[in-house]
Amino acid sequence: MNTSSTFDLLVIFTQPPLTASFPKEALDLALVNSTFEQRTGLIFLGAGVLQLVQNQQPNVLALKGTQAMLKALALYDIDQVFVEEQALLDYSLTTAALLLPVASCNTAKLQQFIANSRNIITF
C-alpha cells in the first residue's frame, strides 16, 4: 500500500439520484472498501450533488433511493466527503442544505484529491 496517497480509493459520483443503479452501486463499493480498512474518499461532481439533497421521496416512484446509505457513511468510518463548489452554485445549494456533513471544494482542490488517490472509480 502506498501511504503517500491521500486515499486508497476515491469514488466519484456524477449522476443525479435514482439514475439507474449508479448511486447504489457506487456506495456499495465505497462501503466495502472502507470495511477492508482502505482509506476511502467520496467526491460529488456536477449533477451528482443532487444525491445529497435532503427530503427526497424515492418511495413515490416505488424506488428505494440511497439517502439511508448516505446517512450511514459515518458508521463505516467514511467522513471524507467532498462536493464541487461550482455544482452547489449551479443548483443553488449550500452545504448546510445537504443531508450529511461535506466539504465544498474548488476545482484545484478536487484535482489534488484525484492526483493523490491510488485508485479512482467514477460512477
What residues make contact with other proteins under the rule CB under 8 A? 1, 8-9, 21-22, 25, 28-29, 32-33, 35-36, 38, 118-119, 121-122
Q: What is the grid cell recorded at 83?
A: 462536493
CB of 65 to other proteins, least distance (A): 16
Residue placing its CB nearer to other proteins in the complex, 36 or 72: 36
CB of 67 to other proteins, least distance (A): 19
CB of 111 to other proteins, least distance (A): 19
CB of 8 to other proteins, least distance (A): 7
Residue placing its CB nearer to other proteins in the complex, 63 or 97: 63
The CA distance from 86 to 55, in Å, is 22
Contact status, residue 47 vs residue 123, Cβ threshold 8 Å: no
Residue placing its CB nearer to other proteins in the complex, 40 or 104: 40
Cα 78 to Cα 20, 65, 89, 99: the distances in Å are 24, 19, 25, 14
The CA distance from 53 to 100, in Å, is 9
Q: What angle do CA 86, 87, 91 make, to 5 degrees?
A: 120
